[in-house]
């Protein structure tokens, strides 16, 4: 069984409708670092259940972003790929805002808020990190870049 591979020392209980005596699972002080180290020495380690399809991705952009476009993109992204987006978060430089925009989410739930002013000496850079399954770096990068504020392009001669 998959659970046995992940934790071969776990006690297993047969339950009906998730009913269990809580004394069996709460305050049992079952974590023993020495036991965990012994198990790793015997060949049980993270490589045994590493999934190559799970990865992380960092997106960076120095130009200001359009908040409306970002919200539309994320609404679309979580509809299409939300199940595979395990965690994402970032600090974003939103066009016309003096505050950092802090953004985070898990699967299909995401939220953002302005928090903390950009200082004069700060480099206003947007950084967004994804952890998920089957992340398409090229596609996500392309979609992220579409969120760059158009005012930047219109102001150029």
Q: Give the model confidence (pLDDT) of 93-105 as tens digits.
A: 999 999 999 988 8
Are 25 and 38 in a shared domain? yes
Predicted local confidence at residue 18, as pLDDT: 75
Dihedral pair phi/psi, residue 90, rounded to 5°: -175, 170
Are 17 and 81 in a shared domain? no
| pLDDT: which is higher, 58 or 33 | 58
Predicted local confidence at residue 34, as pLDDT: 53
Are 38 and 108 in a shared domain? no
Are 59 and 35 in a shared domain? no
Q: Per the structure, how many domains does the chain have? A: 2
For residues 99 and 118, the answer to whether their CB atoms sit within 8 Å is yes
Are 37 and 61 in a shared domain? no
Predicted local confidence at residue 157, as pLDDT: 45
Domain that holds residue 25: 2-49
| pLDDT: which is higher, 27 or 81 | 81
């Amino acid at each position: 069984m998959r659970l046995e591979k992940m934790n071969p020392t776990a006690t297993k209980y047969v339950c009906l409708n998730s009913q269990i005596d809580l004394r069996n699972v709460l305050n049992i002080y079952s974590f023993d670092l020495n036991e965990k180290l012994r198990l790793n020495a015997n060949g049980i380690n993270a490589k045994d259940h590493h999934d190559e399809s799970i990865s992380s991705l960092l997106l960076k952009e120095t130009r200001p972003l359009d908040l409306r476009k970002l919200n539309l993109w994320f609404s679309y992204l979580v509809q299409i790929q939300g199940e595979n987006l395990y965690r994402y978060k970032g600090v974003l430089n939103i066009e016309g805002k003096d505050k950092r925009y802090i953004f985070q989410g898990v699967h299909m739930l995401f939220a953002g808020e302005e928090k903390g002013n950009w200082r004069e000496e700060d480099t206003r850079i947007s950084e967004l990190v994804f952890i998920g399954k089957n992340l398409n770096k090229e596609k996500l990068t392309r979609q992220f870049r579409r969120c760059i504020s158009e005012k930047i392009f219109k102001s150029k001669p």
